[in-house]
Amino acid sequence: MIKALSEDLRNKISAGEVVERPSSVVKELIENSLDAGATEISIVIEKGGHHTIQVRDNGSGISPGDLPSAIRRFHTSKIESVNDLFSIDTLGFRGEALASIASISEMSLLSSNRDGASAELPIVNGIPGEIQPAANIGGTEITIRNLFYNTPARKKFLKTPRTELRKIVDVVRCYGLAFPDVEFKLLADNRDVFHVHSESLEDRIDNLLDPTYSRNLLPINITKGDYVFSGFIGNLNLVRSRPGEQYLFLNRRFIKDRLMNRAVYNAYESLIKRGEYPFFVINLLLPGDQVDVNVHPTKTEVRFKDEWRLFHLLKSEVGNSLDSVLDTIPGFDTSFQQSNSGSSIGDFSLQQSKVSETIPIDLNQNTIDFNHSDTLHPTKSDILRARDYVTKLAETRIDNQSTIATENIWQIHKKYIVSEVNSGLVIIDQHVAHERILYEDALKAFESTSMASQTLLFPETLEFSPDDFDVLFDVLPYLEKIGFKIKKQDNLSVRIDAIPSEMSIGNERDVIREILDNFLKERKEYSSFQEGLAAMFACKAAIKAGDSLMREEMQELVNRLFSTKHPYYCPHGRPIIVQMSLDELDGRFERH
Ligand SMILES: Nc1ncnc2c1ncn2[C@@H]1O[C@H](COP(=O)(O)OP(=O)(O)OP(=O)(O)O)[C@@H](O)[C@H]1O
Ligand SMILES: [Mg+2]
């Protein structure tokens, strides 16, 4: 039964408009379907929702006599008394969504209750028309047409149908991830955007995001008293340079909460940099009295009774799940990181390490293994001093590049290349070095001849959302210059036939995705489109820390680095080379 809320209760519900744009309508309608216990929800959109939004479900339905109440403000079947506000177990409870939507659109409610009683109610100008008998549809179908037809100013704020559709897809994806047991179907302008059946969360993530995601997930499962956290976090392959794939649910409600996001980011510690965002889908299950969802009309903001307890629990649980990632990063010293949380010491952390007397050297690999060393925990002033020192070293120029003795060259920690120069010793970060080379090569290729390609034995098909696909076509000529050979297959997919010869196979999906991600983000830090594209490509395609290099590869890398215009800094401004003079070494060994 849908009943009116008392005056007192109305005042306690934070008032406000819930309909900002088509995607907010979709959100409210899906929430209603889920509250009605639906296991199948299908959404039809025309022209990004400007024209039509229709949501149909197989939930418990509304009785014919209740239809007019459904669109009355502060009428709800979900709560009755003020006390109920403290134990909300439905997504809706304010009794205002349908009323708000009805007041700014042409709406039609068609519903069958569990007994099969069915009726349809048209609503024009917020006023219910005649209730018509209807056939049993086993649930509810709500149709919204001409959104904002009577509020032209708000209509003007609507973005293009394409942009609005993207926001709608985001909303449906969100609920799809929160309710993997529910079937969702989204049709836009007669095209299937997605259709997912009841499945595990892992499969749902693959189906709604990308089929490679499940390979890169780490599970989260914890029960602490009456708190239960579950879901997945992504490993480093799923780290992106724009936010958007952080899904946090509270009792399966999508929420935005900076503190909880920070708990997750902090757990990644220095595995990610500022401006990088890890992937996660985490559902927090909390008793109703531990949280207030009645803070904001859209209900995406909530207030936790004990937010710091939650923060620490979440952070430590995510940290535990990440342990396996830390193990696979060579030489990543977690004890060091933890003891210094808060004070980042940059990449060239001159750790005050006590190297054991005998350093095991694997002659075949040219790799010195420092893993046996103990690490002393440096104090803050040590760190500042080290940072200062490293900065100075990076500024010292190597006068004569030909003096690099490439026959004496080693890789350490699969991350840095060490070599002898006349004046002492140089340390090169292999990733940024390669990044610099690829960056300059790409810029050159844009202006003249294309870079070399390697043909893929098994061409790879990539699928895109309509928006990403449009962006892809803008950058396609540039990708071809860099060495990709890409063919359009149909309206939403392409086939990659060849990739730049310097890129490792299997990386193409990531590289292209990263480039698109960044273009959607509108980066201002690059002075031109070409520079931005070259930098993104270089960063993604370059060899990584952790890649083993053979002697010849190191030699070639160093030689090519010194033929670039700026061998000392990578396109993002990080130093590439650190030099240590013989004087400096002698000083440290007290050889005066
Ligand atoms: N798809 C649906 N299936 C069954 N009942 C529905 C459906 N949609 C709406 N209703 C009924 O109509 C009522 C009004 O819906 P409305 O969305 O306006 O309010 P609410 O969900 O109770 O609260 P809120 O404003 O927070 O969403 C609901 O309480 C519910 O009883
Ligand atoms: Mg509702």
* C-beta of 94 in contact with ligand 1 (< 6 A): yes
Give the separation between CA 182 and CA 162, rounded to whole angstroms.
Answer: 26
Q: Are 526 and 498 in contact (CB under 8 A)?
A: no
Q: How far is the CA of 305 from the centre of ligand 1 (A)?
A: 27
* Pocket mutation for ligand 1, best pick of 10, 27, 33, 35 (most atoms within 8 Å of C-beta): 35
The whole-chain average pLDDT of the chain stands at 80
> How sure is the predictor about 11, in pLDDT bands with cuts at 50, 70 and 90?
low
pLDDT greater than 90 at residue 23: yes
Q: How far is the CA of 95 from the centre of ligand 1 (A)?
A: 6
Which atom, in ligand 1's list, is nearest to the CA of 92?
A: 26
Domain ranges of the chain: 3-198, 207-326, 353-430+576-588, 432-562
**Which residue bears the tokens 């709500």?**
142
Buried b (16+ CB within 10 A) or exposed e, 241-264: bbeebbbbbbbebbbebeebbebb
Encoding tokens for residue 324?
Answer: 């396996």
pLDDT greater than 50 at residue 335: no
Q: What's the whole-number mean pLDDT along residues 505-516?
A: 83
The yes or no reply on domain 207-326 and CATH 3.40.1180.10 is no
> How sure is the predictor about 364, in pLDDT bands with cuts at 50, 70 and 90?
very low
Q: Whose CA is nearest to atom 19 of ligand 1?
A: 95
CATH topology of domain 432-562: Ribosomal Protein S8; Chain: A, domain 1 (3.30.1370)
pLDDT greater than 70 at residue 52: yes
* C-beta of 253 in contact with ligand 1 (< 6 A): no
Q: Whose CA is nearest to atom 28 of ligand 1?
A: 76
Q: Whose CA is nearest to atom 14 of ligand 1?
A: 70
What's residue 356's pLDDT? 27
Q: How far is the CA of 172 from the centre of ligand 2 (A)?
A: 15
* Pocket mutation for ligand 1, best pick of 1, 31, 32 (most atoms within 8 Å of C-beta): 32
What's residue 74's pLDDT? 85
* Pocket mutation for ligand 1, best pick of 98, 113, 293 (most atoms within 8 Å of C-beta): 98
Q: Whose CA is nearest to atom 31 of ligand 1?
A: 77
Q: How far is the CA of 29 from the centre of ligand 2 (A)?
A: 7
Convert the pLDDT of each residue in 193-252 to its tens digit: 999 999 999 999 999 998 888 888 999 998 988 899 999 999 877 888 888 899 999 999
The ligand minimizing its distance to the Cα of 18 is 1
pLDDT greater than 80 at residue 297: no
Give the separation between CA 426 and CA 421, rounded to whole angstroms.
Answer: 7
Superfamily of domain 3-198, CATH level 4: Histidine kinase-like ATPase, C-terminal domain (3.30.565.10)
Q: Left if phi > 0, otherwise alpha if psi is -120 to 50, otherwise beta: which for 210?
A: beta
